[in-house]
Amino acid sequence: MKLGFLTACLPESDLTDIADWAASHGFEALEVAGWPSTDDRNHIRVDRFDEAECDRVRRILTETGLTLSSIAYYENNLHPEQGAEVNAHVRRCVDAAAALGCPTVGTFVGRDPGRPVRDNLKLAEDVFGPLVEYAARHGVEIVIENCVMKSWHPDGYPGNLAYSPELWEWMFGLGLKLNYDPSHLVALGADPVAALRPYVANIAHVQAKDTELLPGKIDRYGFYGPISGEKGWYRFRVPGLGGVDWTRVIDVLYEGGYDGVVSVEHEDPVWSGSTERVQTGLGIAYRTLRHLVRG
């Protein structure tokens, strides 16, 4: 395995600076943000990816010795108005990944909140069949993060139909792979290790994020959380500052034969607000995981 991080936590930094910092602090890989140029999370300029951009990214990776583990574009592929453009950008990410020798592109399944779940599953099959086929022709796998994305549904219900093992099995049947993130299972009340064990062979990428349960909050709001816009009963933290048992998670990955990248996804509100604080958070994650993630 290799240890890396998702660059989206440093939107104000250039890929050159991110890569230099990552390599000098012991990281071995980057999961690089590839949102459109209208978004500040565009460390690879996928929507204007030409020979010069390809050469730029290759040079950065070569000079730092870092592996490009995935191009990240986590948006709603089933959005009722914007879905077609999201799908098109996923294809652009696939094109860039193929040119750079990157094995995966990460995204969400998403959901049309105006349709019931069964209709969304059929819609997803229609949308992702061609996307998976397109990626396969280019030697790339599409990986789906198991994030609930409650903010995408007006009532706070799951907005990304890939959040539970039941739905993982459904998406594996479409040829999609899992970008496994244990933090979201904690937030669902599921055991991240028990949920992981049967599906290691279907995992093509791993994100490392932790979850801290906030004392007393669930007793007020219940499992589904507040309706008032207040913060709920948990928050995401960098690995080591929440409840995920990283020793067991990494051990199960090794036991199941996973040999890819473990990529820190920094969404920790405590270690945010400036480049320096984000880097401090990444350092905490590194010290938590480095003795566990070994090539």
Question: Under a CB-based contact definition with an 8 Å cutoff, are residues 67 and 32 in contact?
Answer: no
Residue 80 has a pLDDT of 97
Cα–Cα distance measured from residue 93 to residue 87, given in angstroms and rounded to the nearest whole number? 10
Residue 222 has a pLDDT of 85
Residue 228 has a pLDDT of 62
Q: Which two tokens stand for residue 38?
A: 């209208």
Cα–Cα distance measured from residue 134 to residue 233, given in angstroms and rounded to the nearest whole number? 40
Cα–Cα distance measured from residue 53 to residue 127, given in angstroms and rounded to the nearest whole number? 29
**CATH number of the domain that residue 133 is part of:** 3.20.20.150
Residue 229 located in a structural domain: no
Residue 294 located in a structural domain: no
Residue 44 located in a structural domain: yes
Domain that holds residue 114: 2-210+242-289
Residue 229 has a pLDDT of 58
Residue 56 has a pLDDT of 98
Question: Under a CB-based contact definition with an 8 Å cutoff, are residues 216 and 154 in contact?
Answer: no
Residue from 182, 164, 199, 179 nearest 248 by CA: 182
Residue 121 located in a structural domain: yes
Count of Cβ atoms closer than 10 Å to residue 265 Cβ: 26
Residue 223 located in a structural domain: no
Residue 128 located in a structural domain: yes
Residue 228 located in a structural domain: no
Structural domain count, the chain: 1
Question: Under a CB-based contact definition with an 8 Å cutoff, are residues 99 and 132 in contact?
Answer: no
Going residue by residue through the chain, which has 295 residues, state the pLDDT in tens, using 9 for 90 and above. 999 999 999 999 999 999 999 999 999 999 999 999 999 999 999 999 999 999 999 999 999 999 999 999 999 999 999 999 999 999 999 999 999 999 999 999 999 999 999 999 999 999 999 999 999 999 999 999 999 998 899 888 899 999 999 999 999 999 999 999 999 999 899 999 999 999 999 999 999 999 999 998 888 888 888 876 567 889 999 999 999 999 999 999 999 999 999 999 999 999 999 999 999 999 999 999 999 998 7
